[in-house]
Chain A
């Protein structure tokens, strides 16, 4: 439902960049990227992860960053799950290189006063970028530390004035089997769907990421727009987002739909609640000494102080 609002936070037509100017900016950016690419190929040699990477302007948010040493750009960009590009950890970096992230639109819908389809540029424009070094814990019991570049999801959501009926936010990934070879097989139900409760979405730690290591997100890490919720298992961090919808009921998320006894809607990192088939009590930290011991997994991935109160009174064994 589309309602009129006179509030200044609303996106007014004059805020929206005319299409031709938007495209010419993009062309300019792309030109710059080519130069960067040539330089980076020289630097990286023949490795697969050498790719154009636009530098971003951002400030470091030390208060919301962990002090752990981040994993190398190579580890972060060549070892991850992104089933749209294949189920092996190395598949995304191999198969996502030609993925087109421009032009990109995001549709905002559901229980909000401002809805419609917006260009990525309009989505991003009002938000200053910051760097946050977050822990990342995969449900498969491995972990990394990643310096993301992004902005609080809450700041973005507020612009669309969610109504009192908006209790949850649902996200969807692009569905394009031509570009995403993994979507040609029914390994999961496509498109990928994730969701957050409204208070989780509005939490200051919840990040819309557009970059890592100071540069535009590599395609394999979810470019151009992805979600990061550091106290939840990695699969909550939906990639290549094209749709954000405010809903009254909890959305049916992809992994919970695929195996509801193994993956829950909340998916908070919890060493006390094991996956039915493997332990979540400890994790193998990628990139630390190759054969070092496993590390104990922390409740809420070490963010308990900031987020545990969101779940007070909830049985986390039931709502896993």
Chain B
């Protein structure tokens, strides 16, 4: 199906880049380097960039986790062909998030970064989530998938833990209004809950099948 590969995928790819392009244009405007349209990052550009990249990291983790349930619901496998791209975009935005934090917010001071990681639990768990995403990104190629076989599946289950760490990181840094992180908690509960439920169904089916097998005369 060349349409998916050469039309749909590039379009989705470009759409995923929109937030990053928007921030880039805003950052150029903020520094006065360029004047691109009306795009403004407001009074505190660093904070806006930080939060936007963080949000999109979570959004892409959520979108990635939606692919399997969507396949189950619709019985279309096309969803799974986008899963890797969305997962890698989550990684892309978390790297941006981290870069903005380290280079723009902390002026590249590694000492300050280390202080924050050690002292502030929400940064510790955020950092942990980022580090755990690295092996997933590295093993996202077809080749790695083939080479790792069953271990690949097990390794990539880390994404559940990463999603929890990410939402937790968001929840913990909010000052008081937890409505937005709460939305992510609800979404994640649904997505992980679905997997638990499906797992139990499969287990039940397997044991029924086994019972049927042994019980046969």
How many A residues touch B, CB cutoff 8 Å? 26
Which residues of B are in contact with A by a Cβ distance under 8 Å? 27, 30-31, 41-47, 104-107, 115-116, 119-122, 172-173, 175-177
Question: Given A78-B43, A79-B42, A274-B119, 7 more contacts at CB 8 Å?
Answer: A78-B42, A188-B176, A259-B176, A277-B173, A284-B46, A287-B43, A294-B105
Q: Is A293 positioned at the interface, with any CB of B under 8 Å from its CB?
A: yes
Q: Is A272 positioned at the interface, with any CB of B under 8 Å from its CB?
A: no
CB of B177 within 8 A of CB of A187, answer: yes
The 7 lowest CB-CB distance pairs between A and B, nearest first, are A79-B43, A290-B30, A87-B177, A293-B107, A75-B43, A290-B45, A286-B43
Instruction: Contacts A87-B176, A277-B173 given; indicate if A291 touches B44 (C-beta within 8 A).
Output: no
Q: What residue in chain B is nearest A274 (Cβ atoms)? A: B119
What is the distance, in angstroms, from A49's C-beta to the closest C-beta of chain B? 12
- A74: chain B residues within 8 A (beta carbon): 43
CB of A277 within 8 A of CB of B172, answer: yes
- B116: chain A residues within 8 A (beta carbon): 279
* Residue of A90, A291, A293 touching B45 (CB-CB under 8 A): A291
Q: Is A199 positioned at the interface, with any CB of B under 8 Å from its CB?
A: no
What is the distance, in angstroms, from B95's C-beta to the closest C-beta of chain A? 18
Which residues of A are in contact with B by a Cβ distance under 8 Å? 74-75, 78-79, 83, 87, 89-90, 140, 142, 187-188, 258-259, 274, 277-279, 284, 286-287, 289-291, 293-294
Q: What residue in chain B is nearest A144 (Cβ atoms)? A: B43
- B104: chain A residues within 8 A (beta carbon): 291
CB of A258 within 8 A of CB of B176, answer: yes
What is the distance, in angstroms, from A247's C-beta to the closest C-beta of chain B? 25
The CA-CA distance from A244 to B104 in the complex, in Å, is 43
CB of B177 within 8 A of CB of A291, answer: no
CB of A284 within 8 A of CB of B44, answer: yes
* Residue of A78, A278, A294 touching B107 (CB-CB under 8 A): A294
What is the distance, in angstroms, from B40's C-beta to the closest C-beta of chain A? 11
What is the distance, in angstroms, from B98's C-beta to the closest C-beta of chain A? 16
CB of B176 within 8 A of CB of A142, answer: no
A-B CB contact pairs (8 Å), 6 listed: A79-B42, A79-B44, A83-B176, A187-B177, A277-B121, A291-B46
CB of A89 within 8 A of CB of B43, answer: yes
The CA-CA distance from A188 to B178 in the complex, in Å, is 11
CB of A142 within 8 A of CB of B44, answer: yes
- B105: chain A residues within 8 A (beta carbon): 284, 294
* Residue of B42, B47, B106 touching A90 (CB-CB under 8 A): B42
The CA-CA distance from A89 to B46 in the complex, in Å, is 14
Instruction: Contacts A188-B176, A259-B176 given; indicate if A291 touches B42 (C-beta within 8 A).
Output: no
Q: What residue in chain B is nearest A78 (Cβ atoms)? A: B43
- B106: chain A residues within 8 A (beta carbon): 294
The CA-CA distance from A274 to B120 in the complex, in Å, is 10
The CA-CA distance from A140 to B47 in the complex, in Å, is 11
